[in-house]
Amino acid sequence: MIEEPSERLIAWMKVIILASLVVLGARQYIFEPVEVHGKSMMPTFEENDRIILMKISEIEHSDMIVFKVAEDRNYLKRVVGIPGDVVEMNNDHLYINGIETDEPYLEQNRKVAEQLGFSQLTEDFAAVTVPAGYYFVMGDNRLNSVDSRMLGFIKGDNILGEVKFRLSPVDHLGPVK
């Protein structure tokens, strides 16, 4: 004779199934773990760092985002211009809507560029206006980054999410700013 499963066992199975559905739903629509590939965001992010993207987020200046550039290729970059902004680089200074913008995350890369004999980290580019529904992005490692300077504006629909949390390396675990 086969025993009927106890009510307690059935209750636990329901909890496990419900929890699994919640996690799968959140993974599909709210967050996504991603592994960093490439050097374009060094030293902010290193090769093989693990990060969490928030899929539901309002994108703002200096946010770091992952976006699709091809069916099998995604890039991680920093948002420099949002829709309607006028973005310009002049003498290694970033201007957004005519106002010079501080980029403290570039200090280490500026020193490296200087050691390599470059007079400036980021080449000048003329003022461009970011169209509605698009973003202008650049990598923190400006000497080694394929970004909006080459790709053009990034369509908002191609943004997979904003980087909100770093999982690894463990010594850098925590929220990303």
Q: Is 145 a catalytic residue?
A: no
Catalytic residue, chosen from 20, 40, 111, 168, is: 40
CA atoms within 13 A on the CB side of 25: 6
DSSP code for 172: G
Catalytic residue, chosen from 55, 77, 148, 177, is: 77
Looking only at Cα atoms, what is the longest distance across the chain?
84
Separation of alpha carbons 111 and 127, rounded Å: 26
What contacts 101, CB < 8 A, 6 or more positions away? 61, 94, 95
Separation of alpha carbons 146 and 13, rounded Å: 49
Question: 137: which 2 tokens?
Answer: 């992005």
CA atoms within 13 A on the CB side of 109: 22
Please list the alpha-helical segments (H only) found in the chain: 7-29, 107-115, 148-151
Q: Phi, psi (5° rounding) for residue 163? A: -70, 125
Q: Is 111 a catalytic residue?
A: no
Residues serving a catalytic function are 40, 77
